[in-house]
Amino acid sequence: MNRRSFLYTTFWMSTIANTSSLDIHKQEFLLIDSVLKHMFDGTSLVPVYKNLRIIEFIKHTIYHSSYDIEIREFVLQGAKEFLGMYPQFISSSHLQKEIYLRRFEDIPMGQNWLYRVQILGFEAIYSSPVYGVNISCEYYHYIGAKWGEPLPKTRYIKI
């Protein structure tokens, strides 16, 4: 096998591996999305979740090479545990979701998992527009701040 064939094959294998990784965790990401929609319900304190691409941001973030693997596994494992306990969560009413979240909060990993998911949501909402979520920087008013300038032009700047 020549070098070019090796590189081509390696590229496609890694692409397939990353895609199947996301496919394997599809239910977990649907749950995280539903949890965040519930958390960010559009009160005066938190932004409205609709029309945001938060879950795409979270997928790209936790699968990025610089992201802590243990935190990624914790987020995905927590979602799996949550689904195991409350498989009907995604299709539940707002009130029922609140009950499930409060119950999950009481188990040993629950509060930490909910906190981590909420942090990922806030990271997405208050990220630079280059990450595809906070395009017009409109969410900074919720925390009484202005975005940093200059805004980055590329994702994941290497330091």
Q: How much is the average pLDDT of 76-89?
A: 95
The tokens for 3 are 């070098």
**What pTM was computed for the model?**
0.75
Sorted by sequence, the CB contacts under 8 Å of residue 133 that are 6+ apart come out as: 52, 53, 54, 56, 57, 124, 125, 127
Residue 48 per-residue DSSP state: B
**For the chain, domain boundaries:** 26-143
List the single range of 42-51, 77-86, 129-138 with lowest mean pLDDT.
Answer: 42-51
The tokens for 119 are 């942090």
List the single range of 32-41, 80-89, 97-106 with lowest mean pLDDT.
Answer: 32-41
pLDDT tens per residue, range 45-66: 666 766 678 888 899 888 888 8
